[in-house]
Amino acid sequence: MLTDGDLQPWKNARPASYPFLLGEMEPAMSMFGPKMGSWAVQSVKDPRWNKSGRAFGLVCEGGPQEMKDWIKECFEKYGEPPDDATREFMKD
């Protein structure tokens, strides 16, 4: 059975993302939060959609903002994406 004394060393523990939230370290160095990676939007049928880059982003949120902005810009300029269009974000 655990007692308060057993838990004492963990009493003041901080989550791994805490230094990042305080601006104490680069985002890519934190356990949680945005990660640096490579992104790409590609289409063979319509190369106007093609673009790639490197940026901080979260896979669970659809990738970096730069990629989402590019997709939005393409929707506004060219309408619906071609059926072979793909997007990807690979964190380092």
What is the reported pLDDT for 61? 83
Instruction: From 78, 77, 68, 79, select the one nearest 41 (Cα to Cα).
Output: 68
Phi, psi at 29, each rounded to 5°: -90, -10
What is the reported pLDDT for 67? 93
How far lies 8's CA from each of 3, 5, 14, 17, in Å?
9, 5, 13, 21
**Tens of pLDDT, residues 1-43:** 445 454 444 444 444 443 433 444 444 445 678 889 999 999 9
35 within 8 A of 91, measured Cβ to Cβ:
yes
What is the reported pLDDT for 30? 52
Average pLDDT value for residue range 51-80: 91
Query: What is the pLDDT of the chain when averaged over all its residues?
Result: 76
Is residue 73 pLDDT above 50, yes or no? yes
How far lies 38's CA from each of 1, 35, 79, in Å?
48, 10, 25
